[in-house]
């Protein structure tokens, strides 16, 4: 089935690139969504089966695949609206956009399921290519700058991952086989040479941070989300970040089963803490609302990796948190397009009184704000609370205090801008040109935010089991 | 012989760090491609012939002919000045490169197991970090691309070291090489040169946070 999925998506993507017909374009994109859903259902039915040697439908892969499938449906709907309302639309830019979208979702889905580090790496390369086509959608100077930075930093980071894989093969030289799949590495973990493994972990971790949006390579993602169209930015801040997480997490499981566990958690913890610090500093300063959302993603990835570093219940909380974050942050980026349509601006000084111009959208922003800052009725409160608990249990009280202080700053900065957007009237704003925005466009965001709250507060048993299975190989 | 080639490769890095003209950089990159060709030829004896021919073609055609020719074309087409315009004096660059090489030699001595020829390790890692230093210290976008190509060469040296055991990884490395070069250089040729007439990283500072 995975061959059919990959070949089918590649075919649909190629036809989309070369076809300029509007009806056929939209028909094909829905055909792809149907294929994606079928594949996700097939993956669930073949739980823990391996296909085509390199792909396993394991728990982590299935959680992420379902998340990606759920998010890709509203992403296509909002892309459709976005392209149709865009003033500079041409058949060519539409075809490129949808072709790249299909390629991105396919590559990300395949990377989730890959059980071999080199295969994850190949699909990571493909996401760089497709994401750069999405970021360059507007074809102006600023978009070019964002694309160039993204491509360059991602190219360096995939080179880093490749160096890491080379070091891993050196570390595994005595293992007696040249199979670098995660399963085989775990079986032969006692043969791994620790000093090479250390280098391998450093390089692979640094490389995947470009996709995950963590220190040190986070800058590429922030610029990319700023310049990409809203629906594409939603995908970049949700499913692509999950892909970076999967790459790091699967290798972290291998490292955690060697004597390097403590050292690796220290590395992850330091990177996570610095990310939180950077996010706090920039969120206080930033005036561009889209960049503020992007920095908020950096903050949440920092929290996720703090959970991984703390261990214990933190592993569970980290996976829960990244799934919930994907739902909430993508809905915020979907809403961003409607904000931009009202104000034609993303500077916080020019925005305001959103309740007056688009009431339903304003409720979405308010709910998403409550979720992103992890206030109690939201689902992310649960996962964030569990992350703090894991830090408390691993006796990192001082770190926990500093993190809470940074989070307070972040909530303050976020709230200041969001409340300005929602309630305070903008200066010199011409109300006559405000378009009427249908309330139906906010439905998908309500579903995503509601789903996140449901998964956090009352997780179905099967979801809990899947998360528990995906962390079962980690030492407790 | 292998070690002589690798040391010449290392010396080419020193030469690049004090070179002043853009065309020198391009020539050194072409030279590095030829050196890599011979290193690959001498090192990879036990892999099958077809694969070896593929690797050799990659080094000689892409690394030492196509990419340098392309870079020269870009330099000419966009009227990029001959000077490299580094942020730091060349003397400081030389010291930093030396420092990088010494650090990697010290690092290689801490790796207890000598499964790998240490010369490969030293050359690969110093090339990698020199490339990163190049990106950080030069002003033009095209020198950033050259820094990236230096990093790619370093990665290629490292992949040759494990090439006999795992030829798949060498092929993957070549795939990365071609993919990233096409993506970066293609973007460069089509867009950057046309949009930003005066190619300088200082032009790429419009995306900011305030």
DSSP line for A158-201: HHHHHHHHHHHHHHTGGGS----BHHHHHHTGGGS-HHHHHHHH
Minimal-distance CA residue of chain B relative to A162: B173
pLDDT, tens only, A196-210: 899 999 999 999 999
Using CB atoms within 10 Å of the CB of residue B8, give its burial: 0 to 12 exposed, 13 to 18 middle, 19+ buried. middle
Kindly report the number of other CB atoms within 10 A of residue B202's CB atom.
8
Residue whose C-alpha is closest to residue A330's, from A448, A443, A211: A448
Q: What is the largest CA-CA distance in chain A?
A: 73
* ipTM value greater than 0.85: yes
| Residues of A whose CB is below 8 A from B176 | 125, 158-159, 162
Query: Taking the C-alpha atoms of B20, B25, B28 and B29 in order, what is their torsion angle to the nearest 10 degrees?
Result: 160
CA distance B96 to B92: 6
**Domain layout of chain A by residue ranges:** 1-258, 260-476
Of the pLDDT bands very low, low, confident and very high (cuts 50, 70, 90), residue A400 is very high
Which of A152, A178, A195 faces B166 most closely, judged by CB atoms? A178
> What's the first-to-final CA gap in chain B, in angstroms?
56
Q: What distance in Å separates the CA atoms of residue B57 and residue B64, rounded to the nearest whole number? A: 10
* Side-chain-facing half-sphere of A267: CA atoms under 13 Å: 20
Q: Give residue B2's Cα distance to chain centre.
A: 19
A430-458 residue pLDDT tens: 888 888 888 888 999 999 999 999 999 99
For A253, counting Cβ atoms within 10 Å of its Cβ (0-12 exposed, 13-18 middle, 19+ buried), the class is: buried
Q: List CB contacts of A456: < 8 A, sequence separation 6 or more.
A: A320, A324, A378, A379, A380, A381, A382, A383
* Mean pLDDT for chain A overall: 91
* A 232-251 residues with CB < 8 A to B: none
Q: Which residues of chain A does B128 touch, with a Cβ-Cβ cutoff of 8 Å?
A: 163
CA–CA separation, A38 and A100 (whole Å): 20
Contacts of A221 in chain B (CB under 8 A): none
Unique residue bearing structure tokens 């809203």: A230
Q: What is the pLDDT along chain B (210 residues), one digit of tens a residue?
A: 888 999 999 999 999 988 888 889 999 999 999 999 998 888 877 777 888 888 888 888 888 898 899 888 888 877 777 777 788 888 999 999 999 999 999 988 887 666 677 888 899 999 999 999 998 888 788 888 889 999 999 999 988 887 777 777 888 888 878 888 877 777 766 666 666 655 566 667 667 665
> Does the distance separating the beta carbons of A227 and B183 come in below 8 Å?
no
**C-alpha separations of A40 from A37, A43, A110, A111, A421 in Å:** 5, 5, 11, 14, 38
C-alpha distances (whole Å) from A322 to each of A119, A257, A283 are 22, 23, 20
User: Is-contact A286 A292, C-beta < 8 A?
Assistant: yes
Going by pLDDT thresholds of 50, 70 and 90, the confidence category of residue A419 is very high
Among A148, A166, A282, the residue with its CB nearest the CB of B158 is: A166
A239 exposure class (CB count in 10 Å sphere: 0-12, 13-18, 19+): buried
User: How close A287 comes to chain B (CA, Å)?
Assistant: 5
Of B148, B207, B210, the CB nearest to A145: B207
Mean pLDDT along residues A234-257: 94
Is residue A141 less than 8 Å (CB to CB) from chain B? yes
Instruction: Give the model's pLDDT for residue B198.
Output: 56
**Beta strand residue intervals within A27-81, DSSP E:** 50-51, 55-56
Binary contact (B204, A149; C-beta < 8 A):
yes
CA distance readout (Å), A149 to A53, B139, B144, B186, B187 = 35, 15, 11, 14, 11
A289-311 per-position pLDDT tens digit? 999 999 999 999 999 999 999 98
As a whole number of angstroms, the distance between CA B156 and CA B164 comes to 13
Chain A residues with CB-CB distance to B111 below 8 A = 195-196
Chain A residue numbers with beta carbons less than 8 Å from the beta carbon of B151 are 156, 159
What digits encode the pLDDT tens for the residues A65-98? 999 999 999 999 999 999 888 877 788 888 889 9
8 Å CB contact of B176 and A125: yes
Read off the tokens for A41.
């259902």
What pLDDT shows up at residue A196? 87
| Spatial distance between the Cα atoms of B151 and B140, rounded to a whole number of angstroms | 17
Helix (H) or strand (E) holding B143: helix B141-161
Q: Please answer yes or no on whether B207 and A223 come within 8 Å at the CB atom.
A: yes
Establish if A443 touches chain B: CB-CB under 8 angstroms.
Answer: no
Concatenating the DSSP letter of every residue in A266-317 gives: HHHHHHHHHHHHHHHHHHHH--BHHHHHHHHHHHHHHHHHHHHHH-THHHHH
Of B115, B192, B209, the CB nearest to A173: B115
The answer to whether A390 and A307 are in contact (CB under 8 A) is yes
Q: What percent of chain A has pLDDT over 90?
A: 67
| A347 in reach of chain B (CB within 8 A) | no
User: CB A147 to CB B166 under 8 A?
Assistant: no
CA distance B165 to A216: 32
Residues of B in contact with A145 (CB under 8 A): 204, 206-207
Residue B200 CB contacts under 8 Å (≥ 6 apart), including other chains: B139, B140, B141
Cβ–Cβ gap B115/A146 under 8 Å: no
Distance CA A327, CA A332 (A): 9
Residue A17 phi, psi dihedral angles, 5° rounding = -60, -40
Of A443, A335, A323, A449, which is closest to residue A67 (Cα–Cα)? A323
Instruction: Say what the pTM is.
Output: 0.93
Under 8 Å between Cβ of A158 and B178: no
Look-up: residue for tokens 């490969």?
Answer: B120
């Amino acid at each position: 089935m995975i061959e059919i999925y990959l070949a089918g998506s590649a075919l649909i993507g190629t036809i989309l690139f070369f076809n300029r017909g509007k009806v056929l374009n939209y028909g094909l994109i829905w055909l792809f969504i149907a294929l994606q859903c079928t594949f996700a259902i097939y993956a669930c039915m073949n739980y823990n089966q391996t296909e085509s040697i390199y792909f396993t439908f394991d728990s982590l892969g299935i959680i992420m695949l379902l998340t990606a499938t759920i998010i890709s449906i509203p992403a296509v709907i909002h892309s459709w609206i976005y392209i149709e309302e865009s003033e500079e639309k041409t058949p060519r830019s539409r075809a490129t956009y949808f072709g790249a979208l299909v390629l991105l979702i396919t590559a990300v889905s395949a990377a989730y399921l890959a059980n071999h580090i080199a295969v994850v790496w190949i699909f990571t390369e493909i996401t760089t290519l497709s994401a750069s086509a999405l970021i360059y959608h507007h074809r102006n100077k600023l978009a070019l700058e964002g694309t160039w930075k993204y491509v360059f930093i991602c190219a360096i980071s995939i080179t880093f991952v490749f160096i890491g894989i080379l070091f891993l093969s050196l570390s595994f030289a005595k293992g007696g086989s040249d199979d670098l799949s995660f399963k085989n590495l775990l079986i032969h973990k006692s043969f791994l040479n620790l000093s090479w493994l250390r280098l391998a972990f450093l390089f692979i971790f640094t490389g995947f941070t470009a996709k995950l949006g963590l220190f040190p390579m986070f800058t590429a993602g922030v610029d990319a989300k700023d310049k990409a169209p809203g629906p594409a930015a939603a995908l970049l801040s949700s499913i692509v970040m999950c892909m970076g997480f999967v790459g790091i997490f699967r290798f972290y499981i291998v490292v955690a089963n060697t004597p390097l566990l403590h050292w690796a958690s220290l590395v992850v913890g330091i990177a996570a803490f610095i990310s939180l610090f950077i996010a706090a500093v920039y969120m206080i300063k930033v005036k561009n609302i889209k960049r503020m959302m992007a920095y908020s993603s950096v903050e949440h990835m920092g929290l996720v990796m703090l959970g991984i570093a703390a261990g214990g219940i933190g592993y569970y909380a980290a996976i829960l948190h990244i799934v919930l974050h994907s739902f909430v942050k993508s809905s915020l980026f979907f809403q961003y397009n409607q904000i931009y349509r009202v104000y034609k601006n993303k500077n916080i000084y020019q925005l305001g009184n959103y309740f007056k111009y688009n009431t339903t959208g304003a409720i979405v922003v308010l709910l998403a704000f409550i979720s992103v800052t992890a206030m109690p009725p939201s689902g992310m409160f649960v996962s964030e609370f569990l992350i703090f608990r894991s830090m408390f249990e691993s006796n990192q009280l001082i770190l926990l205090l500093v993190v809470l202080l940074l989070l307070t700053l972040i909530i303050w900065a976020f709230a200041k801008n969001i409340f300005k957007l929602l309630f305070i009237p903008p200066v010199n704003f011409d109300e006559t040109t405000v378009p009427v925005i249908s309330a139906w466009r906010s439905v998908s965001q309500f579903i995503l935010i509601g789903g996140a709250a449901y998964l956090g507060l009352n997780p179905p048993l099967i979801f809990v089991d899947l998360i528990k299975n995906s962390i079962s190989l980690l030492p407790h | 012989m292998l070690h002589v080639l690798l040391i010449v490769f290392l010396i080419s890095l020193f030469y690049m760090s004090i070179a002043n003209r853009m065309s020198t950089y391009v020539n050194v990159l072409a030279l590095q491609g030829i050196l890599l060709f011979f290193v690959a030829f001498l090192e990879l004896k036990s892999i099958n012939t077809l694969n070896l021919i593929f690797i050799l073609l990659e080094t000689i055609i892409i690394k030492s002919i196509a990419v340098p020719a392309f870079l020269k074309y870009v330099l000419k087409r966009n009227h990029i000045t001959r000077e490299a315009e580094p942020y730091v004096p060349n003397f400081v660059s030389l010291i930093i490169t030396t420092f990088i090489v010494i650090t990697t030699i010290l690092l290689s001595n801490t790796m207890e197991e000598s499964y790998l020829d240490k010369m490969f390790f030293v050359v690969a890692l110093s090339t990698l970090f020199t490339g990163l230093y190049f990106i950080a210290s030069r002003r033009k976008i095209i020198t950033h691309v050259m820094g990236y190509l230096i990093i790619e060469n370093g990665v290629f040296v490292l992949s040759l070291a494990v090439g006999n055991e795992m030829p798949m990884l060498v092929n993957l490395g070549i795939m990365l090489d071609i993919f990233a070069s096409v993506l970066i250089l293609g973007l460069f040729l089509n867009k950057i040169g046309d949009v930003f007439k005066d190619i300088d990283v200082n032009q790429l500072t419009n995306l900011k946070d305030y």
